[in-house]
Structure 1
Amino acid sequence: MKTLHILFIALFASLFVLTSWTAAEYYSPKENTGDILLGDWKPSNGRSVIRISKGETSKGQDKNKYYGRIVWLKEKNNADGTPRLDINNPDDAKKSDKILGMTNMRELEFVGDKNDLKWENGNIYDPNNGSDYSFEMTMNKKNTNLVDGRGYIGVSMFGRTDTWKRLVKKGK
Protein backbone atom coordinates (compact mmCIF):
# COMPACT_ATOMS: atom_id res chain seq x y z
CA MET A 1 0.00 0.00 0.00
CA LYS A 2 2.86 2.35 0.87
CA THR A 3 4.47 1.61 -2.53
CA LEU A 4 1.21 2.47 -4.28
CA HIS A 5 1.03 5.74 -2.32
CA ILE A 6 4.63 6.65 -3.30
CA LEU A 7 3.93 5.71 -6.93
CA PHE A 8 0.83 7.95 -6.94
CA ILE A 9 2.79 10.90 -5.50
CA ALA A 10 5.61 10.38 -8.04
CA LEU A 11 3.09 10.20 -10.90
CA PHE A 12 1.32 13.36 -9.67
CA ALA A 13 4.63 15.23 -9.27
CA SER A 14 5.76 14.15 -12.76
CA LEU A 15 2.47 15.26 -14.26
CA PHE A 16 2.74 18.62 -12.46
CA VAL A 17 6.32 19.19 -13.67
CA LEU A 18 5.47 18.17 -17.24
CA THR A 19 2.39 20.43 -17.31
CA SER A 20 4.35 23.35 -15.85
CA TRP A 21 7.17 22.87 -18.35
CA THR A 22 4.72 22.70 -21.28
CA ALA A 23 2.88 25.82 -20.11
CA ALA A 24 6.16 27.69 -19.63
CA GLU A 25 7.30 26.58 -23.08
CA TYR A 26 4.03 27.80 -24.58
CA TYR A 27 3.83 31.15 -22.79
CA SER A 28 7.46 32.15 -22.39
CA PRO A 29 8.90 34.67 -24.84
CA LYS A 30 11.12 33.07 -27.45
CA GLU A 31 13.69 34.38 -29.86
CA ASN A 32 11.79 36.74 -32.13
CA THR A 33 11.08 34.67 -35.24
CA GLY A 34 10.33 37.89 -37.13
CA ASP A 35 14.00 38.85 -36.91
CA ILE A 36 14.71 36.38 -39.72
CA LEU A 37 13.85 39.34 -41.97
CA LEU A 38 16.87 41.37 -40.80
CA GLY A 39 19.57 41.97 -43.39
CA ASP A 40 20.20 43.38 -46.85
CA TRP A 41 17.66 42.74 -49.62
CA LYS A 42 17.71 43.48 -53.35
CA PRO A 43 14.37 44.06 -55.11
CA SER A 44 13.86 42.29 -58.45
CA ASN A 45 14.81 45.34 -60.53
CA GLY A 46 18.33 45.21 -59.03
CA ARG A 47 18.57 49.01 -58.79
CA SER A 48 18.79 49.26 -54.99
CA VAL A 49 19.56 47.42 -51.76
CA ILE A 50 17.32 47.82 -48.72
CA ARG A 51 18.76 47.11 -45.26
CA ILE A 52 16.02 45.89 -42.93
CA SER A 53 16.58 46.46 -39.22
CA LYS A 54 14.60 46.75 -36.02
CA GLY A 55 13.33 50.17 -35.06
CA GLU A 56 15.52 52.48 -33.01
CA THR A 57 13.81 54.44 -30.25
CA SER A 58 16.47 57.16 -30.58
CA LYS A 59 15.05 57.81 -34.07
CA GLY A 60 11.46 57.81 -32.83
CA GLN A 61 10.86 54.32 -34.21
CA ASP A 62 9.05 51.39 -32.60
CA LYS A 63 11.72 48.90 -31.45
CA ASN A 64 9.35 45.98 -32.12
CA LYS A 65 8.79 46.87 -35.78
CA TYR A 66 10.94 46.63 -38.89
CA TYR A 67 12.30 49.46 -41.03
CA GLY A 68 14.13 49.48 -44.36
CA ARG A 69 16.80 51.96 -45.41
CA ILE A 70 18.25 52.36 -48.90
CA VAL A 71 21.96 51.50 -48.52
CA TRP A 72 22.95 51.08 -52.16
CA LEU A 73 21.74 52.50 -55.48
CA LYS A 74 22.85 51.37 -58.91
CA GLU A 75 22.69 55.04 -59.93
CA LYS A 76 23.37 57.01 -56.76
CA ASN A 77 24.24 60.19 -58.65
CA ASN A 78 22.63 62.19 -61.43
CA ALA A 79 24.40 62.61 -64.79
CA ASP A 80 26.08 65.78 -63.47
CA GLY A 81 27.56 63.89 -60.49
CA THR A 82 25.23 65.34 -57.84
CA PRO A 83 23.46 62.91 -55.48
CA ARG A 84 19.98 61.75 -56.51
CA LEU A 85 17.39 63.65 -54.50
CA ASP A 86 13.79 62.88 -53.61
CA ILE A 87 12.43 65.32 -56.24
CA ASN A 88 9.12 63.45 -56.62
CA ASN A 89 8.19 63.79 -52.94
CA PRO A 90 4.84 65.58 -52.55
CA ASP A 91 6.26 67.32 -49.45
CA ASP A 92 8.32 70.25 -50.77
CA ALA A 93 10.47 70.23 -47.62
CA LYS A 94 11.69 66.70 -48.48
CA LYS A 95 12.48 67.23 -52.17
CA SER A 96 16.11 68.03 -51.29
CA ASP A 97 16.59 64.81 -49.24
CA LYS A 98 19.07 62.29 -50.64
CA ILE A 99 17.58 58.97 -51.74
CA LEU A 100 20.67 57.03 -50.63
CA GLY A 101 20.29 56.56 -46.88
CA MET A 102 16.55 57.22 -46.88
CA THR A 103 14.28 55.07 -44.70
CA ASN A 104 11.65 54.05 -47.23
CA MET A 105 10.07 51.06 -45.44
CA ARG A 106 8.40 51.79 -42.12
CA GLU A 107 6.64 50.09 -39.22
CA LEU A 108 6.40 46.57 -40.62
CA GLU A 109 5.03 44.30 -37.90
CA PHE A 110 5.65 40.55 -37.57
CA VAL A 111 2.23 38.91 -37.35
CA GLY A 112 3.15 35.31 -38.13
CA ASP A 113 4.97 32.51 -36.38
CA LYS A 114 7.72 30.02 -37.27
CA ASN A 115 5.35 28.24 -39.68
CA ASP A 116 3.86 31.38 -41.25
CA LEU A 117 6.54 34.02 -41.80
CA LYS A 118 4.46 37.14 -42.39
CA TRP A 119 4.87 40.85 -41.72
CA GLU A 120 2.03 43.37 -42.16
CA ASN A 121 0.76 46.84 -41.31
CA GLY A 122 3.78 48.63 -42.75
CA ASN A 123 4.32 51.30 -45.37
CA ILE A 124 6.78 51.65 -48.21
CA TYR A 125 7.71 54.82 -50.05
CA ASP A 126 8.70 54.77 -53.72
CA PRO A 127 11.01 57.72 -54.47
CA ASN A 128 10.59 57.08 -58.22
CA ASN A 129 7.02 58.37 -58.12
CA GLY A 130 6.70 59.99 -54.68
CA SER A 131 3.99 57.55 -53.58
CA ASP A 132 3.51 55.86 -50.23
CA TYR A 133 1.90 52.41 -50.14
CA SER A 134 0.64 50.02 -47.48
CA PHE A 135 3.11 47.16 -47.33
CA GLU A 136 3.33 43.53 -46.27
CA MET A 137 5.89 40.77 -46.71
CA THR A 138 5.81 36.98 -46.70
CA MET A 139 8.73 34.57 -46.64
CA ASN A 140 8.76 30.94 -47.69
CA LYS A 141 10.21 29.05 -44.74
CA LYS A 142 11.90 26.62 -47.16
CA ASN A 143 13.91 29.43 -48.77
CA THR A 144 14.51 32.26 -46.32
CA ASN A 145 16.64 34.12 -48.86
CA LEU A 146 13.54 35.17 -50.83
CA VAL A 147 10.70 37.35 -49.65
CA ASP A 148 7.61 38.65 -51.44
CA GLY A 149 6.83 42.28 -50.70
CA ARG A 150 3.38 43.58 -51.62
CA GLY A 151 2.63 47.28 -51.89
CA TYR A 152 -0.94 48.48 -52.25
CA ILE A 153 -3.35 51.34 -51.75
CA GLY A 154 -6.48 50.43 -49.82
CA VAL A 155 -6.96 46.69 -50.39
CA SER A 156 -4.06 44.24 -50.73
CA MET A 157 -5.83 42.51 -53.61
CA PHE A 158 -5.22 45.58 -55.79
CA GLY A 159 -1.48 45.85 -55.20
CA ARG A 160 1.76 44.70 -56.77
CA THR A 161 4.08 41.99 -55.48
CA ASP A 162 7.84 42.04 -55.94
CA THR A 163 10.27 39.29 -54.93
CA TRP A 164 13.33 40.47 -53.03
CA LYS A 165 16.51 38.42 -52.70
CA ARG A 166 18.64 38.41 -49.57
CA LEU A 167 22.25 39.42 -50.12
CA VAL A 168 24.44 36.82 -48.47
CA LYS A 169 28.16 37.33 -47.95
CA LYS A 170 30.29 34.69 -49.64
CA GLY A 171 31.61 32.09 -47.25
CA LYS A 172 28.52 32.16 -45.04
Structure 2
Amino acid sequence: MKNNILLTTTFVGLLFSGSVFAQDLSGTWQQIDDKTGSPKALIEIRQEANNTYAGKIIKVTPRPGYTPQKLCNNCPAPYTNKAILGMDVLTGLKHVEGTNNYEKGRVIDPLAGKVYDAKVKLSANGKRLTLRGYVGISALGRSQTWLRAD
Protein backbone atom coordinates (compact mmCIF):
# COMPACT_ATOMS: atom_id res chain seq x y z
CA MET A 1 0.00 0.00 0.00
CA LYS A 2 2.81 2.44 0.90
CA ASN A 3 4.51 1.70 -2.43
CA ASN A 4 1.30 2.46 -4.35
CA ILE A 5 0.85 5.77 -2.53
CA LEU A 6 4.49 6.71 -3.16
CA LEU A 7 4.22 5.79 -6.84
CA THR A 8 0.96 7.73 -7.25
CA THR A 9 2.37 10.78 -5.43
CA THR A 10 5.50 10.74 -7.62
CA PHE A 11 3.46 10.45 -10.83
CA VAL A 12 1.08 13.27 -9.83
CA GLY A 13 4.08 15.44 -8.86
CA LEU A 14 5.68 14.91 -12.26
CA LEU A 15 2.39 15.50 -14.03
CA PHE A 16 1.83 18.88 -12.42
CA SER A 17 5.45 20.03 -12.46
CA GLY A 18 5.32 20.44 -16.23
CA SER A 19 8.42 18.34 -16.77
CA VAL A 20 6.44 15.54 -18.41
CA PHE A 21 5.01 17.94 -21.01
CA ALA A 22 8.03 20.19 -21.43
CA GLN A 23 9.89 17.80 -23.70
CA ASP A 24 7.65 18.21 -26.75
CA LEU A 25 7.98 21.20 -29.06
CA SER A 26 4.95 20.24 -31.14
CA GLY A 27 2.31 22.92 -31.39
CA THR A 28 1.75 26.49 -32.50
CA TRP A 29 4.20 29.19 -31.45
CA GLN A 30 4.09 32.99 -31.68
CA GLN A 31 7.44 34.23 -32.98
CA ILE A 32 8.52 37.45 -31.26
CA ASP A 33 10.90 39.83 -33.06
CA ASP A 34 14.07 40.09 -30.98
CA LYS A 35 14.68 43.66 -32.16
CA THR A 36 11.20 45.20 -31.77
CA GLY A 37 9.48 42.85 -29.31
CA SER A 38 6.42 42.63 -31.57
CA PRO A 39 4.84 39.45 -32.97
CA LYS A 40 6.18 38.37 -36.38
CA ALA A 41 4.53 35.09 -37.31
CA LEU A 42 2.81 31.96 -36.10
CA ILE A 43 4.98 28.87 -36.48
CA GLU A 44 3.59 25.34 -36.35
CA ILE A 45 6.19 22.89 -35.05
CA ARG A 46 5.71 19.19 -35.73
CA GLN A 47 7.66 16.03 -35.04
CA GLU A 48 8.88 14.30 -38.21
CA ALA A 49 9.01 10.53 -38.80
CA ASN A 50 12.78 10.56 -38.09
CA ASN A 51 12.14 12.07 -34.59
CA THR A 52 13.43 15.52 -35.55
CA TYR A 53 11.31 18.66 -35.34
CA ALA A 54 10.39 21.08 -38.12
CA GLY A 55 8.41 24.30 -38.09
CA LYS A 56 6.51 26.11 -40.82
CA ILE A 57 5.02 29.58 -41.00
CA ILE A 58 1.22 29.36 -40.84
CA LYS A 59 0.48 33.08 -40.39
CA VAL A 60 2.48 36.25 -40.96
CA THR A 61 1.84 39.10 -38.51
CA PRO A 62 2.83 42.32 -40.33
CA ARG A 63 3.80 45.47 -38.50
CA PRO A 64 1.42 48.41 -38.95
CA GLY A 65 2.25 50.34 -42.12
CA TYR A 66 4.44 47.53 -43.43
CA THR A 67 3.64 45.37 -46.46
CA PRO A 68 4.89 41.87 -45.71
CA GLN A 69 7.29 40.21 -48.11
CA LYS A 70 5.55 37.31 -49.84
CA LEU A 71 8.50 35.45 -51.40
CA CYS A 72 11.86 34.34 -50.12
CA ASN A 73 13.71 36.30 -52.85
CA ASN A 74 17.29 36.28 -51.59
CA CYS A 75 17.17 32.75 -50.20
CA PRO A 76 19.39 29.86 -51.27
CA ALA A 77 17.98 26.72 -52.89
CA PRO A 78 15.58 25.06 -52.14
CA TYR A 79 13.95 28.22 -50.72
CA THR A 80 14.58 30.51 -53.72
CA ASN A 81 11.39 32.38 -54.73
CA LYS A 82 9.22 30.17 -52.50
CA ALA A 83 6.23 31.61 -50.66
CA ILE A 84 7.07 32.55 -47.08
CA LEU A 85 3.61 31.50 -45.89
CA GLY A 86 3.76 27.72 -45.55
CA MET A 87 7.57 27.61 -45.66
CA ASP A 88 9.48 25.27 -43.33
CA VAL A 89 11.76 27.78 -41.61
CA LEU A 90 12.98 25.41 -38.90
CA THR A 91 14.26 21.90 -39.67
CA GLY A 92 16.25 19.04 -38.19
CA LEU A 93 16.02 19.83 -34.47
CA LYS A 94 16.90 16.81 -32.33
CA HIS A 95 15.93 16.43 -28.68
CA VAL A 96 18.86 16.17 -26.25
CA GLU A 97 17.89 13.26 -24.00
CA GLY A 98 17.18 14.14 -20.37
CA THR A 99 16.94 17.90 -21.03
CA ASN A 100 14.57 20.51 -22.45
CA ASN A 101 17.10 21.29 -25.18
CA TYR A 102 17.02 20.63 -28.91
CA GLU A 103 20.09 20.91 -31.15
CA LYS A 104 21.52 20.34 -34.61
CA GLY A 105 18.71 22.20 -36.37
CA ARG A 106 18.70 24.77 -39.16
CA VAL A 107 16.66 27.96 -39.32
CA ILE A 108 16.18 30.31 -42.25
CA ASP A 109 15.44 34.01 -41.98
CA PRO A 110 13.23 34.43 -45.07
CA LEU A 111 13.47 38.23 -44.93
CA ALA A 112 17.29 38.25 -45.06
CA GLY A 113 17.74 35.03 -47.04
CA LYS A 114 20.22 33.58 -44.57
CA VAL A 115 20.36 30.05 -43.12
CA TYR A 116 21.74 29.48 -39.61
CA ASP A 117 22.48 26.58 -37.31
CA ALA A 118 19.81 26.42 -34.62
CA LYS A 119 19.24 25.17 -31.12
CA VAL A 120 16.24 25.56 -28.83
CA LYS A 121 15.75 25.61 -25.09
CA LEU A 122 12.21 24.93 -23.90
CA SER A 123 11.10 26.44 -20.59
CA ALA A 124 10.25 24.09 -17.72
CA ASN A 125 6.52 24.78 -18.11
CA GLY A 126 6.66 24.27 -21.90
CA LYS A 127 5.11 27.66 -22.71
CA ARG A 128 8.20 29.53 -23.91
CA LEU A 129 11.11 28.56 -26.08
CA THR A 130 14.34 30.36 -26.83
CA LEU A 131 15.62 29.80 -30.35
CA ARG A 132 19.30 30.52 -30.92
CA GLY A 133 20.37 31.00 -34.53
CA TYR A 134 24.12 31.09 -35.10
CA VAL A 135 26.99 30.61 -37.54
CA GLY A 136 29.63 28.09 -36.48
CA ILE A 137 29.52 28.59 -32.71
CA SER A 138 26.55 29.60 -30.60
CA ALA A 139 28.31 32.74 -29.34
CA LEU A 140 28.11 34.13 -32.88
CA GLY A 141 24.36 34.46 -33.15
CA ARG A 142 21.18 35.87 -31.72
CA SER A 143 18.20 34.56 -29.82
CA GLN A 144 14.45 34.90 -30.20
CA THR A 145 11.72 34.04 -27.74
CA TRP A 146 8.65 32.22 -28.99
CA LEU A 147 5.48 31.84 -26.93
CA ARG A 148 3.18 28.82 -27.10
CA ALA A 149 -0.02 29.91 -28.82
CA ASP A 150 -2.12 26.75 -28.44
Tell me if TM exceeds 0.5: yes
> Which of 103, 110, 119 is 2:88 aligned to?
103
Which residues of 2 match residues 96-135 of structure 1 at below 5 A? Answer: 96-113=81-98, 116-135=99-118
- The answer to whether the 8 A contact 2:108-2:116 is kept is yes
Contact 1:51-1:71 at 8 Å conserved across structures: yes
In structure 2, relative to structure 1, the CA distance for the partners of 1:166 and 1:65 (3 Å cut) is same
1:161 is paired with a residue whose SS is strand
CA contact (8 A) 1:34 1:110 kept: no
* 1:51 matches 2:7: no
Cα separation, partners in 2 of 1:106 and 1:94, compared to 1, 3 Å: closer
Q: TM-score, normalised by structure 2?
A: 0.73
Query: Structure 1 segments of 4 or more deviating over 4 A?
Result: 32-35
CA contact (8 A) 1:85 1:99 kept: yes
RMSD: 2.3
Give the percent of matched residue pairs that are identical in Structure 1 and Structure 2: 28
Which structure has the highest strand share of the two?
Answer: 2
Q: Which has the higher contact order (CA 8 A, sep 6+)?
A: 2
How many residue pairs get aligned? The number is 123
Q: Find out whether 1:39 has 2:27 as its counterpart.
A: yes
**Aligned partner letter, 1:47:** K
Q: How far apart are 1:107 and its partner, in Å?
A: 0.4
User: How many angstroms apart in 2 are the aligned matches of 1:34 and 1:65?
Assistant: 16
In the other structure, the counterpart of 1:72 is 59
1:17 equivalent in structure 2: none
Displacement of 1:156:
0.5
Give the whole-Å Cα distance in 2 for the aligned partners of 1:99 and 1:107.
19
Match of 1:163 in 2: 145
Unaligned runs of 5+ in 2: 1-19, 34-38
Rate the CA distance shift 1:34–1:65 in 2: closer, same or farther, 3 A.
farther
1: CA distance, partners of 2:79 / 2:131: 25
Equivalent-residue separation in structure 2 for 1:48 and 1:124 (angstroms): 14
Q: Which has the larger radius of gyration?
A: 1
Q: Distance in 2 between matches of 1:95 and 1:133?
A: 16
Q: Which is richer in helix?
A: 1
